Amino acid sequence: MIVYLETKARFVDDVFSNQIEDKVFDAVKSRLGIRVAKSEVNSWKNSLGYMQRILVDETIPADAGVAIEYSIPQTSKRIDFILTGKSSTQQNAAVIVELKQWSDAELTGKDAVVSTFLGGQNVETNHPSYQAWSYAALLEDFNEAARAEDVSLHPCAYLHNCAADNVLKHPFYRQHTAKAPVFLKADAAKLKEFIKQHVNRGDAGELMYRIRDGKIRPSKNLADMLLSLLQGNQEFLMIDDQKLVYETALDLAEKSTDDSKNVLIVSGGPGTGKSVVAINLLVELTAREQLAQYVTKNSAPRSVYEAKLTGTFTKSRISNLFKGSGAFVGTEANAFDALVIDESHRLTDKSGMFRNKGENQVAEIIAASKLSVFFIDELQRVHIHDQGTVAEIIARAREANAEVTQLPLKSQFRCNGSDGYLAWVDNTLQVRETANPTLEGIDYEFKVCDSPHELRDLVVDRNQVANKARMVAGFCWPWKGKKDASVKDIEIPGHQFAARWNLANDGNLWIIKPESVQEIGCIHTCQGLELDYIGVIIGPDFVIRDGVAVTDATARAIQDRSVFGYKKLYKQSPGAAEQLADQIIKNTYRTLMTRGQKGCFVYSVDAETNQYLKLVALGAKDIISIGLESYPGLPFELIDSSEVKPFENAVPIFDMQVAAGEFSEPQWLDEASWVALPEPFVAKEGFFVTRVVGRSMNKRIPDGSWCLFKAHPGGSRLGKVVLVQHRDVQDPDGGGQYTVKLYESKKVTTDDSWGHEEIILRPDSHDPGYDAIVLNPEAATELQVIGELVAVLGNT
């Protein structure tokens, strides 16, 4: 999808008339369904102004095409700027420009990785040349028009604020700058010549229209590419955070010793490439003659990988590469150079079929290896005994005196690259509140079916293309036909529908057996794997009542070990048992609904739930207001919109974790819910309520507390607790651009003015490990103080 597409002449006019940032902002919001912060709008204005100065040269064709914020197919990535036309030989040509606001950078010892100042601190990130080249390669890889129509792609990077060239043009990065030259502050003339070298005639954006409408090539499946990967071929291009994780892991592998152990924790949601990076690490570490293994708790991925390799690799070699998480009980300390643990959220304490071996899988893995790389998504914990959490891994690493490094994976490659769909699933299942209550504008095939027959027909139809569509269901039906293929396990009354669970003789290979398209799998046979299309039958363990998600662990089949022990736990602590089961059931359906790269079909056996899913997908406001704005656990009353008197009997309530940029804008009130304040508090102009999640301020604000803030307070903020927004701030608890901290500042005064030397956002926690966020003068200019804490109102 293209956000902005005009001729060069029109682009130059839009910049000159100060309209460009507004046009891009409106298009991003309407076409991509994304709301961006004011700081990003300012970055567009700044960088695109520099591009205008380059393009005013009359020898660059006025009718050359200019595309801004082009969404790369099947990913969540966007290309900043593309100029299209024809070369001197009449070949279709596109110059791809990665724009950066950086003023400086530092050298690292990692391939294609530099360090630069972002969000008040030095962080490692991709070299801009590698980023520009990788985006061009992705475009060519996924788009048939870019590949087949004799298009010449010319990537480059432009850092218009950066003066020093001793780092970004350092010989260490030569292989990347050779593929995509980097132009700095003094290189405007060189960038102009680079563009003129490749674009001699205009095309009025015709090439970008063909690319936009071009056929999208099928994305690669990890299991299918496994053999080629292990044979040393590059099948997956790692971009942005994936490349950073990969290079960091390799760097740590070189540094790790018996006496200097390292643990790398990589957090990422569905489709962010955890398994792809993990397998690539296994291949490269093995090529470097390091003893490494790929580890998973769930046997399904290992079984599929073994099937793909059988006949080419010996069974012993396969066994030496892929291991279960319980294989390290009693292993000699530091026996391995590196262990790469995928699906780390599934790790448990005990091992073995009867959970009678070992003490803790996380601790045993760390003990067995000099470097342990844990790939984790805590929202995919789907078993009552799953112990894999970031906190658990950190605690066990400290016990082993291992150094801990944490990195995120955010680049989205599943669900057609749609972060919006994943956020919608979380919102709909009420796993967490997000800013995606509908599927409006989301490029992903999703349908709520009227019957299980319709769902099966859709899956069978989609499976004809590449044998990559399957049905799955919540484990709510007993596996009566485990040893008798004539028995139909899943029967849905009222629809004359019957189907079998996946056959025992297929085991974990159900997902790749061609004839299994008529069978139904469950979480245990698909977690860690992906398909093109997934059909999900939601059982009676998850229902919607009056817009609220209600889960019931007792509705699971007796053979489902994922909730085994629930009844015993319930007798001991009913509240804890219900909370744990609620997480497991919601996480299960979240995991199932995100297995499809191209589409997902859903049917619920409960009529009210099925209707809810339909209405929410279509954006029905009445269902959303009942179900998704109910704020479970809110200790005071939500007021119906018809009875709200703003700032008289109510104040707005909002979840800063899902604000996505608009929280600081006046128009957010148009879509806010309103709440009555508990006594003795009185509604006042500018007051609002939000929930503070995390432990970084728990001396004053308990985790999960609803707090009253005063918006945009005046006067001195020194020593006050404030809610702030900054594009490059990563809150240690929520991970978002909003954070609540104690405000401090150091000012510098001249004869006639003053400014901030630095702003410090300081935690106030009983727990160690929370660092202050320090913003330099440049970063401080983008800081917005949203509100000042008035009071803590209560816990959820």
CATH classification of 638-795 is 3.40.1500.10, yes or no?
no
C-alpha–C-alpha distance, residues 309 and 328, integer Å: 24
Residues with pLDDT less than 50, the chain: 620-630, 658-667, 734-735
Using alpha carbons only, give the angle 686, 660, 733 rounded to the nearest 5 degrees.
Answer: 90
C-alpha–C-alpha distance, residues 359 and 726, integer Å: 43
DSSP H helical segments within 450-544, as ranges?
452-466, 523-526
Within 614-737, strands assigned E span 638-639, 651-654, 673-675, 687-692, 705-711, 721-725
Q: CB under 8 Å to 702, separation ≥6 — which residues?
A: 792, 795
Strand partners, 669: none
Do 222-409 and 638-795 come out as alike in CATH topology? no
C-alpha–C-alpha distance, residues 3 and 138, integer Å: 18
Residue 766 confidence (pLDDT): 81
CB 669 within 8 A of CB 662: no
Residue 223 confidence (pLDDT): 66
- The secondary structure of residue 19, as a DSSP letter, is -
Residue 31 confidence (pLDDT): 64
Which pairs with CB-CB distance under 8 Å and at least 24 residues apart come from 435-441? 435/35, 435/658, 435/659, 435/660, 435/662, 436/33, 437/616, 437/619, 437/624, 437/628, 438/616, 438/617, 438/618, 438/619, 438/624, 439/617, 439/618, 439/619, 440/33, 440/619, 441/30, 441/31, 441/32, 441/33
C-alpha–C-alpha distance, residues 703 and 430, integer Å: 19
Residue 561 confidence (pLDDT): 85
* Closest to 15 in 3D by CA, of 61, 62, 51: 51
Rounded to two decimals, the pTM is 0.69
CB 68 within 8 A of CB 80: yes
* Closest to 378 in 3D by CA, of 347, 332, 352: 347
Half-sphere exposure of 350 (CA within 13 A, CB side): 8
Residue 401 confidence (pLDDT): 97
Question: 302 vs 321, 562, 709, CA distance in Å?
Answer: 10, 20, 51
Characterize the bridge pairing of strands 784-795 and 721-725.
antiparallel
Classified as helix, coil or strand, 551 is: strand
Residue 379 confidence (pLDDT): 87
User: Which amino acid is residue 96, in one-letter code?
Assistant: I
CB 437 within 8 A of CB 628: yes
* Closest to 661 in 3D by CA, of 81, 19, 29, 23: 29
Q: Left (φ > 0), alpha (ψ -120 to 50) or beta: where does 289 sit?
A: left
The structural domains of the chain, with segments of one domain joined by +, span 2-213, 222-409, 415-627, 638-795
Q: Which helix (H) or strand (E) holds 747?
A: strand 738-749
- The secondary structure of residue 38, as a DSSP letter, is H
Instruction: Indicate the CATH number for domain 415-627.
Output: 3.40.50
Percentage of residues in the chain having pLDDT higher than 70: 87
DSSP H helical segments within 499-649, as ranges?
523-526, 566-572, 574-592, 607-618, 621-627
CB 711 within 8 A of CB 690: no
CB 3 within 8 A of CB 24: yes
How many other CB atoms sit within 10 Å of the CB of residue 189?
11
Q: CB under 8 Å to 89, separation ≥6 — which residues?
A: none
Superfamily of domain 222-409: P-loop containing nucleotide triphosphate hydrolases (3.40.50.300)
* Closest to 658 in 3D by CA, of 689, 632, 691: 691
Q: What's the gap between Cα 670 and its chain centre? A: 28
Half-sphere exposure of 15 (CA within 13 A, CB side): 23
Half-sphere exposure of 78 (CA within 13 A, CB side): 19
Identify whether 680 is preceded by a cis peptide bond (ω within 30 of 0). Answer: yes
User: Helix crossing, 128-142 with 240-255: angle to 10°?
Assistant: 120
CB 149 within 8 A of CB 210: yes
Neighbour-count burial for 271-294, b at 16+ CB within 10 Å, e otherwise:
bbbbbbbbbbbbbbbbeeebebbb
One DSSP character per residue, 256-321 reads -BTTB-EEEEEEE-TTSSHHHHHHHHHHHHHHTT--EEEEESSHHHHHHHHHHHBTTB-HHHHHHH
Residue 3 confidence (pLDDT): 83
